[in-house]
């Protein structure tokens, strides 16, 4: 059971380049989300999805796009990378929080370290 | 948006000591979770605890939702307990899971 898989683990970009961080889960979770972690800031929510075809903005959505065409996959796109997007990115998934009988326990991938020069 | 405040921000203890970490939140929540981030960056779910008390070995957690706080207790600390502890809440009004800034715990041998 792979859980939540993120790729790539490391990436270096130049300012203005685009890229996609991939996230896949094999637990049939409805809920998926992306966070960024910066020193002293904890984890900040970028975007989240409560099911295929449904996405919404988190706390820091600017500069990022997401889509959810399948239950399993939730890619995060940087259209024009900026140095301020240098960070560690985490994808997470869970059963839908609040559903009767659902624990809503959040599972994380191992993270993707992105550096924008 | 909801404010999630954790205290203390940093804690240094000798091995064998006990500790209490606190998480305060400013709005009604559906659930609350505690996580441990180890020195290698992995985030592990410790407790899913919207209310009441749960125990898992040397760790226990209590959430008092009506008073908008949760406590994480670590007893007989070990060096492997070092890392950052986060609480995260799911607001009632939407499905955003918001994290606090964490408590960094150093356990000295």
- H or E segment and range at residue B94: none
Q: How close B17 comes to chain A (CA, Å)?
A: 25
| Mutation target among B31, B51, B91 for the A interface, most CBs of A within 10 A | B31
Percent of chain B with pLDDT over 70: 100
- Other Cβ atoms less than 10 A from the Cβ of A106: the count is 25
- Which pLDDT value is given to residue B38? 95
Inter-chain residue contact B101 with A106, CB threshold 8 Å? no
Between B94, B96, B97, which is nearest A106 by CB? B97
B90 touches chain A (CB under 8 A): yes
**A90 contact residues in B (CB cutoff 8 A):** 43
pLDDT of residue A111: 97
Alpha-carbon distance of A77 to B5, in angstroms, equals 30
**Residues of B (16-75) whose Cβ lies below 8 Å from A:** 30-31, 33, 35, 41-43, 45, 48
**Nearest CB to A42 within list B33, B96, B99:** B99
Tokens of B63: 């959430």
- With tokens 């959810």, the residue in question is A68
Give the CA radius of gyration of chain A.
14
Residue pLDDT, tens place only, B46-101: 999 989 999 999 999 999 999 999 999 999 999 999 999 999 998 877 788 999 99
Residue showing tokens 């899913």: B48
Residue spans of chain A under pLDDT 50: none
> Where do the H-state alpha helices sit in chain A?
none
A12-23 pLDDT, tens per residue?
A: 999 999 999 999
Interface of A to B at Cβ within 8 Å reads 31, 33, 35, 40-45, 48, 50, 56, 58-59, 88, 90, 92, 96-98, 103-108, 110-111
Output the pLDDT for position B29.
87
Chain B residues with CB-CB distance to A41 below 8 A: 101
Arithmetic mean of pLDDT, B22-39: 94
User: Could you report the per-residue pLDDT of A53-73, keeping only the tens digit for each?
Assistant: 999 999 999 999 999 999 999
**Looking at residue A82, what is its pLDDT?**
97
Residue A32's closest CA among A115, A85, A108?
A108
């Amino acid at each position: 059971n792979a859980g939540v898989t993120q790729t790539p683990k490391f990436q270096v970009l130049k300012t203005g380049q685009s890229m996609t961080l991939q996230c896949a889960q094999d637990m049939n979770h409805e809920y998926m989300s992306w966070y960024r972690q910066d020193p002293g800031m904890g984890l900040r929510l970028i975007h989240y999805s409560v099911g295929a075809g449904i996405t919404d903005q988190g706390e820091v959505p600017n500069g990022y796009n997401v889509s959810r065409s399948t239950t399993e996959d939730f890619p995060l796109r940087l259209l024009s990378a900026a140095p301020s997007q240098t960070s560690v990115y985490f994808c997470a998934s869970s059963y839908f929080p609040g559903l009767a009988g659902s624990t809503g326990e959040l599972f994380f991938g191992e993270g993707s370290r992105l550096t924008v020069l | 948006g909801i404010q999630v405040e954790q205290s203390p921000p940093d804690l240094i203890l000798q091995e064998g000591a006990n500790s209490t970490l606190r998480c305060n939140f400013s709005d009604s929540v559906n659930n609350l979770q505690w996580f441990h981030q180890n020195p290698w960056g992995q985030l592990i779910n410790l407790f899913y605890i919207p209310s009441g008390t749960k125990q898992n070995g040397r760790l226990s957690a209590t959430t008092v939702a009506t008073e908008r706080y949760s406590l994480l207790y670590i007893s007989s600390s070990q060096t492997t307990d070092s890392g950052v502890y986060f609480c995260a809440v799911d607001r009632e009004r939407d499905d955003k899971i918001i994290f606090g800034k964490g408590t960094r715990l150093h356990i000295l041998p």
